[in-house]
Structure 1
Amino acid sequence: MRQFTAVVNPTAGGSSGTAGLLPLARLLREAGAGLDTVYSRSLEHAREVAREVGAKGHVVLAVGGDGMAGTVGGALSGTDTVFGLVPAGRGNDFARALELPTDAPGLAKVLLHGEPRAVDTIEVESARHTRTCVLGSVYAGVDAVANRHANASRVLRGAASYYAGGLRAVLAWKPATYRITVDGIRHERTGYTVVAANSGFYGFGRKVAPGARVDDGLLDVVVIKHAPKHLFFTLMNELKTGAHVQRPEVEILRGEEIRIEADRPLPYGADGEVDATLPVTLRVRPAALKVLA
């Protein structure tokens, strides 16, 4: 029987991150599994705990949203540790890409009896040459600004915070000129954002990269080019279904190594966390993480 350690974001979803863990914990323990719980004090603390308990042979569970999933899963990238997700945040986009059950009995079944599946991760090298790994996507532009607004919201929660943050970001946006180098080939584009996607989803279930697969060894690079702002709002609505990729203002590139630069300092985010500025270099790490899904 598996031994689990849950690394919990205590404020996931704007409330107690333990809410989604309690019914699941009961089911895991009733089945005979061991379960320890550690509350993270910071993202770096979560990484340290994940590596430490993973080295002991525990299955490491990330309890929270995409930020916690990316932090813990990224820390385990390239190791033999088995990773599990307990989606308890606002977006839960990587869990959505893995088609994880949202009910406690279904998720318990996956965690207790599922076979580990190898998925890709993204190595992120910042301008300061520091390197981390994340799971879902890295995005640079108006969406990073919007996500920063959403994360800072104390009034709105869930999808509402993303819509409000997006509106605020787009209304103030000025077109940026990007230099995007994909496997050594340089592309210059002007527009709203560049998204390097391992997972098809971001921003609370928006299907930004419908063709992206977490195990194909490639990153899908979605470029939303310059367009009138009223059309951009239409594009945002089409992200729900992925229909935006049919528009001429949207371009998709694919590659293993991506470098994103811009004509001004722009924020970029990764798995829901926004704390850095372009340029950034991204590399896919094929089959680097074993996840129960």
Structure 2
Amino acid sequence: MTDRSTATAGAVVVLANRTAGHRRHAALVPAVLDLLAAAGRPVRLLDVGTAVEATATCRAAVADGAAALVTVGGDGTVHLALQAVAGTDVPLGPVPAGTGNDFAVSTGFPPDPIAAVRLISAAIRDGRSRPVDLARVTGPDRTDRWYGAVLAAGFDAIVNERANRMRWPSGPRRYDLAVLVELARLRPRRYLVGLDGVSQRMDAVLVAVGNCASYGGGMRICPAADPTDGLLDVVVAGPVGRGTLIRILPQVYRGTHVQHPMVRSYRAREVTIDTAGVIGYADGERVGPLPLTVTAVAGAVRLLR
């Protein structure tokens, strides 16, 4: 049975983004609700509009005693849900239905959304969940934000910021144009990077901090990252020019870019990043200006697998 009442105590609560993945899975929600209902618990579909409403509604559902929170969408939808379930006993079930599903796939969920929701439903029925790590990012105002996949704090973040300011063109072409514009403006920046309290200055064009291996729909920017080891993986591309960066970027999908002599990898429990003029993005969502501090929090969320 699907319960659309306001009560969430004991219910499986569903946060669905019907516009995710360019609406490829817009008709998926009814099937998700039916499959979840087969687990034997009441199911409630949240009625939300904006991202702010989604976060607030998820937090209210968790506080009200929801049995589980299931997301239908991509990394952005998961990111909103993480703000509610991180550090609680309420498990999360991410149904991968977005353009980028890096957190769900990296943590062992099938890329097919129906297969994933069947796995989640079985876990609810059996009372089964397992802990995985999250990253907690703190800005200059001391506000905390959780993320599951990767924090971008270099060229990739600058491209995101550019694309989000553009009003034309629409769709993926906007991002492609933003890449071209920022490649033309590419210059190394002087970063101050702290790794477990030891700081060093680095000239770089890209800095990424991964709890999971990939972002952007399968780009394995931090290929050795493991969301169960209690550590963050940091990948830094040094002061390369446009031509070198263009040659390196396609290798990110295979994770072989880390073999390039200008790419360095580190591992730490706490990472601080600072440079002028960069806005950090986590799970593809805007976090805020650097400096940022990222902390690995072991077992911060339980997943329905």
Q: Please give the TM-score of this superposition, normalised by the length of structure 1.
A: 0.90
Cα RMSD of the aligned pairs, angstroms, is 2.3
What's the CA shift for 1:112?
1.3
Query: Quick one: which of 262, 266, 279 aligns to 2:278?
Result: 266
Residue pair 2:96, 2:116 contacting (<8 A) in 1 also:
no
- 2:193 aligns to what? 180
C-alpha distance in 2 between matches for 1:108 and 1:274: 28
Q: Secondary structure at the match of 1:239?
A: helix
Residue pair 1:20, 1:87 contacting (<8 A) in 2 also:
no
What's the CA shift for 1:62?
2.0
What's the CA shift for 1:81?
0.5
Residue pair 1:21, 1:86 contacting (<8 A) in 2 also:
no
Residue pair 1:94, 1:135 contacting (<8 A) in 2 also:
yes
Q: Which whole-Å deviations, capped at 9, do the CAs of 1:51-90 have from their partners, x for residues lacking one?
A: 2222313210122221221121232111000111122222
- 1:46 aligns to what? 54
Amino acid at match of 2:43: L
Runs of 4+ residues over 6 Å off in structure 1: none
Q: Please give the TM-score of this superposition, normalised by the length of structure 2.
A: 0.87
C-alpha distance in 2 between matches for 1:199 and 1:103: 19
Q: Which whole-Å deviations, capped at 9, do the CAs of 1:87-139 have from their partners, x for residues lacking one?
A: 22221111121232233441222111233110111111111221121111211
What's the CA shift for 1:161?
5.6
- 2:93 aligns to what? 84
Q: Secondary structure at the match of 1:22?
A: helix
C-alpha distance in 2 between matches for 1:167 and 1:173: 10
Count, aligned residues:
291
- 1:145 aligns to what? 158
Query: Quick one: which of 285, 288, 305 aligns to 1:276?
Result: 288
What's the CA shift for 1:267?
1.3
C-alpha distance in 2 between matches for 1:289 and 1:249: 35
Q: Is residue 2:83 matched to residue 1:71?
A: no
Query: CA separation of 1:122/1:139 partners in 2, compared to 1, >3 Å: closer, same or farther?
Result: same
Structure 2 unaligned runs (5+)?
A: 2-9
C-alpha distance in 2 between matches for 1:19 and 1:183: 46
Structure 1 stretch 204-213 or stretch 102-111: which is displaced more? Answer: 102-111
Residue pair 1:125, 1:132 contacting (<8 A) in 2 also:
yes
What's the CA shift for 1:163?
4.4
Query: Quick one: which of 245, 254, 260 aligns to 1:241?
Result: 254
What's the CA shift for 1:231?
1.1
Q: Secondary structure at the match of 1:194?
A: strand
Q: Which whole-Å deviations, capped at 9, do the CAs of 1:217-271 have from their partners, x for residues lacking one?
A: 0000111111121110111100010010101111111111111001x22111111
Residue pair 1:162, 1:204 contacting (<8 A) in 2 also:
no
- 2:111 aligns to what? 102
Q: Is residue 2:230 matched to residue 1:221?
A: no
Which has more radius of gyration? 2
Structure 1 unaligned runs (5+)?
A: none
Query: Quick one: which of 51, 57, 61 aligns to 2:66?
Result: 57
Structure 1 stretch 44-53 or stretch 188-197: which is displaced more? Answer: 44-53
